[in-house]
Amino acid sequence: MNNEDLRRYLEFYQDLGVKEIYRQAAPSALPPPPVLIRAEREMDTEPVVPAAIPDLPGLAPANDSFAIIQEDIGDCRRCRLSEARNKIVFGVGDPAAKLVFVREGPGADEDAQGIPFVGRAGQLLTQMIEGTASKEGIPLKRSDVYICNVVKCRPPENRTPLPDEMEICGEFLFRQLSVIRPKAICALGSTAAKAVLGTKDGVTRLRGNWHKWRDIPVMVTYHPSYLLRPYNQNAKREAWEDLKKVLHFVYD
């Protein structure tokens, strides 16, 4: 494995929120017994070269695509979320979109239909995208962007995905974003922000400013389901401001 491959591999785990990697010391790091040193010198033999470390698996196959990713997901049983799910919710929209929205995971409506954001929160997101674009003079429909989830199966009772579930599904989110290579990513809610940015900060601290996933700008804003609550009027205004900033950056 060369330095570039190792860098990409470590960046992948950093994107998933892994902060530390532990490596067991190799036996060759210990000094050899004196008798072996004397024997080698007496026989004038070449020093023993440790066996090469095998290459770690690639982050994604060459020429990766949505079709390959979906084939790799298959009828996924990699974590406990598969036990109660109805359908895997892969993503929806333009696979060559300039803007990608990432949300936490499927709800009941999405689990039934296999499509992200088809419930009340999805209807609000559609209004936000198309209404804001129209007011800003940007010809944009929801079908022009791409929407995907951190986890592809509905968590029971819509609970927050657990770290190991996010880590397992994180491989597929990473590959989706790598295939699309959008101009910007909009992370909806704290779980999406954590998955994309590997941060523990909440939405109120992160929103309104640009961050980076690899070299792609990321804007964090509130999840539409949070905006549906009647007491979050200020959050609605802030979310629309965030979205306006994203749309102008991507489409101007």
Share of the chain above pLDDT 70, in %: 76
pLDDT tens digits for range 44-97: 444 444 444 444 445 667 789 999 999 999 999 999 999 999 999 999 999 999
CB atoms within 10 A of CB 218: 23
Q: Where are the domains of the chain?
A: 66-251
Question: Domain 66-251 belongs to what architecture?
Answer: 3-Layer(aba) Sandwich (3.40)
- Is 131:173 a contact under the CB 8 Å cutoff? no
pLDDT bucket at 186, cuts 50 / 70 / 90: very high
Write phi, then psi, for 184 (nearest 5 degrees). -155, 160
Looking up tokens 């190799």 gives 26
Bridge partner list, 101: 147, 186
Q: Among 112, 117, 105, which Cα is nearest to 86's?
A: 112
- The pLDDT of residue 35: 41
- DSSP category for residue 184: E
pLDDT tens digits for range 140-156: 999 999 999 999 999 99
* Bridge pairing between strands 184-188 and 99-103: parallel
